[in-house]
Chains A and B, each alone.
Chain A
């Protein structure tokens, strides 16, 4: 079955530690996205990549980093510079980054920093 997989579903980290969230898709989609959801804030775009080896900052990129070395993979690193990292993180993909195809979302990773 084609889909987008985020792992792990729940992640706990100590304050000051970097953590990397995994996102893998086998849909052969060109574009991939990372969103953060906080209560009452909707979906806020962190980073996106329209094609492999390229990515752009979204609306709230500070304290995050990404890479897109393979078409299937778009890992997100939450660094110690991110002031409020505890949130629900969603990864999405789309067949094209330049056409309005809908996004397919993963099931999310809930990150808790203690």
Chain B
């Protein structure tokens, strides 16, 4: 059963507009979250993180929002640029029951149209 879900496999946005990527999780014990960006045939690179004690974290054009009650996080990219076209993965830290690892979502492919 998928504990971290990215329900939108793909998203297209015009250059300069806002991109919103969503991620849902099922385990309320998850307490740290990451977003990664991945280009084809390359490894993912870290983008931004958020701890469960916060509801927002901002880094330049990238902002992550966390809604713990809804078990939902989102990544906002403003303004979107063609170089942002990539696959984005969210990941949740599982640190209970002796298991320590990140669980990744299935990814959302973002295409920014020039």
Contact = CB atoms under 8 A, between A and B. Distances in A.
Given A41-B106, A42-B106, A108 B42 contact: yes
Contact of A100 (B6, B44, B45, B95): B95
B93 interface: yes
Contacts of B105: 42
Interface residues of B, number: 23
Nearest to B107: A42
A63 interface: no
A6 B44 CA distance: 13
B101 A33 contact: yes
B66 interface: no
B25 interface: no
B73 interface: no
B31 to A, nearest CB: 8
Given A40-B106, A42-B107, A105 B45 contact: yes
A102 B42 contact: no
A40 B41 CA distance: 15
Contact of B100 (A6, A97, A107): A97
Interface residues of A, number: 28
26 contacts: A4-B43, A6-B43, A9-B41, A41-B106, A42-B6, A42-B89, A42-B104, A43-B89, A43-B104, A43-B107, A88-B41, A97-B100, A97-B101, A98-B95, A100-B31, A100-B32, A100-B93, A100-B102, A102-B46, A102-B49, A103-B46, A105-B36, A105-B43, A105-B44, A106-B43, A107-B43
Contacts of B41: 9, 88, 107-108, 110
A77 to B, nearest CB: 20
A74 interface: no
Interface in A7-24: 9
Interface string B11-53: 0000000000000000000011010100001111110010000
Contacts of A42: 6, 89, 104-107
Nearest to B2: A42
A25 interface: no
